[in-house]
Amino acid sequence: MTTVDIRTVDGETNGTVELPADIFDAQASIPLMHQVVVAQLNAARQGTHKAKSRGEVAGGGKKPYKQKGTGRARQGSIRAPQFTGGGVVHGPVPRDYTQRVNKKMKAAALRGALSDRARDGRIHVVEAFIEGDTPRTKEALKVLRGITEARRVLVVLARDDEANWLSLRNEQSVHLLVADQLNTHDVLVSDEVVFTTAALNEFLGVPAEFGASADADSNEEG
């Protein structure tokens, strides 16, 4: 198992938490992660692009000039593809870009991405970014910068953690996610991943009273 220090709001270390090896020390398959990320990006595409073909462009019903005697190439319509305002040949049409990727593949790709970050020491855990329930962006950023100065940071929060969410949502270098929305793409495009203890427990499916905070208390007692 990988052991990570739990940072406090004051920048101190309050015990450690062990990251399960089956999630944070799994084999990373680059082809699998690539397939899952491509499928995720394709699923985000609307697919509503449309260009009009020659038959759909308005006008152009009349022959622009006579067939012979002008010295120019023969033309049948000013809406032909070679004319400005004419139709588009083989243009984009509405389509569905969705690719089928099953749940096991998505889970394996996410484990591989998290394991890659964990092996490089780019997984961090913090108790919270602010004290109390009042959002404070300046204080939250101070705690975050005490952990990492990376330009792209993925911060994973618990679903009901509104104070930390409001504190960090306007920072351009930070991408916020709820624990149950964690995905391969967002992990791979981020330089560092920071969990709150509540978010880590939520992601691992551990009740709060038996999660990372409890491990930290036991470490303190020891």
| Lowest pLDDT segment from 3-17, 116-130, 134-148 | 3-17
Decide: 196 and 128 in contact? Cβ < 8 Å: yes
**Cβ neighbours of residue 221 closer than 8 Å, sequence gap 6 or more:** none
Specify burial of residue 76 (Cβ count, 10 A radius: 0-12, 13-18, 19+): exposed
What does the block give as tokens for 40?
Answer: 């995720």
Region 104-127: mean pLDDT is 95
How far apart are the C-alpha atoms of 172 and 4, rounded to whole Å?
Answer: 26
Given pLDDT bands bounded at 50, 70 and 90, which one contains residue 221?
very low
Pull the structure tokens for residue 43.
Answer: 């699923």
Choose between 206 and 56: higher pLDDT: 56
For the stretch 38-69, pLDDT in tens is: 999 999 999 999 999 999 999 988 999 999 99
pLDDT at residue 208, as a whole number: 52
Specify the DSSP class assigned to residue 175.
Answer: E
pLDDT value, residue 12: 87
**Is the CB of residue 86 less than 8 Å from the CB of residue 67?**
no
Confidence of residue 195 (pLDDT cuts 50, 70, 90): very high
Q: What is the pLDDT of residue 214?
A: 45
Could you give the CA distance from residue 16 to residue 220 in angstroms, rounded to a whole number? 9
Give the chain's mean pLDDT: 90
**The pLDDT value given to residue 83:** 94
Q: What is the pLDDT at residue 212?
A: 52
Flag whether pLDDT at 220 surpasses 50: no
Kindly tell me if the per-residue pLDDT of 103 is higher than 60.
yes
Residue with tokens 């010295």: 71
Which helix (H) or strand (E) segment holds residue 198: the answer is: helix 197-204
Predicted local distance difference test score (pLDDT) of residue 218? 44
* pLDDT value at residue 207: 58
